[in-house]
Amino acid sequence: MSKETLTITDNRTGKSYEVPITDETIRAMDLRQIKVNEADFGMMTYDPAFTNTAACRSAITFIDGDKGILRYRGYPVDDLAENASFLEVASLLINGELPNKDELAEFARQVTTHTFVHENVRTVIDGFRYDAHPMGMLVSTVSALSTFYPEAKQVLDAESRRLQMIRLIAKMPTLAAWSYRHSMGMPLVYPDNELSYSANFLSMMKRIAEPKYEAHPEIVKALDVLFILHADHEQNCSANTMRCIGSSRADPYSAVAGAAAALYGPLHGGANEAVLRMLQEIGSPDRVPEFMKSIKDGTSGRLMGFGHRVYKNYDPRAKVIKGLADKVFDIVGVRNPLLKVALELERIALEDEYFVERKLYPNVDFYSGLIYQALEIPVEMFPVLFAIPRTAGWLAQWEELLIDKDQKIARPRQIYTGEDERRYVPISER
């Protein structure tokens, strides 16, 4: 039987070291014994952006980027998108198993009970300028929630953690919708606890003068599916931020604010907005070949909504969203003309040597913006719509970190490239 170890020879000293391999991985700390002399600090690894470093063991989400597989707790995401509700998936992510009927009813009851926010949050929102970006307001107001729940600091108390997780899942749609309403100069709408999670969010966004706003059930279902598809994606930039902040034992409201701030960036949750702007710029399918040429010769930047750090195959979420787009367009009665541009872009890219060679396929952001646009949701809200469901994933990652005995406060090393020690020079001599 082969031995589960790795032998490393340090050619500087001629010494060999044998380090154990567990889960196809060696421990970075096992390299520290590799030294040229006693005074040497020991060998480290250099891995900017963690491209080849596992920072945790996780049982939440599995991705096989080459095969285009995404599973939450073992369940394929397309299976969940077709059969489950978002709250069922949120419960699955944070509890580890699909809830039975009673458990789901209880989970939904708890979430529904916590949809309202303290009235003072209104004044926080009122303090923003009329044109404030809703994502900036969401990041700030979720952070402000930590001041309303000081007991949330008890992060090692399982019961307190559970309560904060329910509150966060429940209140994110309220904060998100209120941020949107403020940016539109419209009165804030309170939660309607008779509605489902997604239906209530649509009501808080869209209700005007009608006593009750009930969106078309297929639109509610479509939003629920989009929420499911965005619920978690293992150790991405925002999940890593959540874990990093959580590792200092900060309260979960502050940690979610940090994770949402990471999501705000255009290389992460902001890409769907860029896709939409790109499709608008192309304008019509006949202009696609010319545009593709400019991408390949480097004059138009990147094809937004294409390519992914881990998927080197069709993003499984994009497949589901593409089908969903048709359904939504049928219901709203408007076929977004940009869909034709998107389909033509995809057709050409999937045949083109440049994209095939680099394994560049449509990602989750390629079609989602078209659906949001059909629902008359402005582009500034796209990252906000991503943050609502991703909160469930962030919280699952956060709790897993806190109960993991291997984890400590996150604190990477550096390779110092600055000056060696030097003496202060008085300003008159400089």
Residues forming contacts to ligand CMC in the complex (CB under 6 A) are 233, 236, 267-269, 271, 295, 302-309, 358, 360, 363-365
Q: CA nearest 150: which of 118, 111, 106?
A: 118
Task: Select the residue whose beta carbon is closest to ligand CMC and give its number.
Answer: 307
Supply the minimum distance, in Å, between the C-beta of residue 269 and ligand CMC.
Answer: 6
Q: CA nearest 226: which of 100, 31, 389?
A: 389
Supply the minimum distance, in Å, between the C-beta of residue 61 and ligand CMC.
Answer: 12
Phi-psi bin for 249: left (phi > 0), alpha (psi -120 to 50), beta? left
| Gap between the Cα atoms of 404 and 201, Å rounded | 34
**Is the separation of the CB atoms in 260 and 415 below 8 Å?**
no
For residue 365, indicate whether it is catalytic: yes
Whose Cβ is closer to ligand CMC: residue 216's or residue 309's? Answer: 309
Residue found under tokens 């963690």 = 50
Supply the minimum distance, in Å, between the C-beta of residue 310 and ligand CMC.
Answer: 8
Phi and psi (nearest 5°) for 248? -90, 5
Whose Cβ is closer to ligand CMC: residue 40's or residue 290's? Answer: 290
Whose Cβ is closer to ligand CMC: residue 143's or residue 368's? Answer: 368
Q: List Cα–Cα distances, 325 to 57, 333, 377, 405, in angstroms.
A: 35, 12, 14, 44
DSSP H or E segment with residue 75:
strand 75-76
Supply the minimum distance, in Å, between the C-beta of residue 270 and ligand CMC.
Answer: 8
Active-site entry in 224, 251, 315, 365: 365
Active-site entry in 30, 64, 268, 404: 268
Supply the minimum distance, in Å, between the C-beta of residue 206 and ligand CMC.
Answer: 26
| Nearest-10 crossing angle of helices 271-282, 338-351 | 100
Cβ neighbours of 66 (radius 10 Å): 11
Whose Cβ is closer to ligand CMC: residue 258's or residue 305's? Answer: 305
| Gap between the Cα atoms of 10 and 91, Å rounded | 49
For residue 308, indicate whether it is catalytic: yes
Active-site entry in 192, 308, 315, 352: 308
For residue 230, indicate whether it is catalytic: no
Supply the minimum distance, in Å, between the C-beta of residue 406 and ligand CMC.
Answer: 26
Whose Cβ is closer to ligand CMC: residue 120's or residue 280's? Answer: 280
Whose Cβ is closer to ligand CMC: residue 143's or residue 240's? Answer: 240
Query: How buried is 163 (Cβ within 10 angstroms: 0-12 exposed, 13-18 middle, 19+ buried)?
Result: middle
**Is the separation of the CB atoms in 68 and 359 below 8 Å?**
no
List residues with catalytic annotation. 268, 308, 365
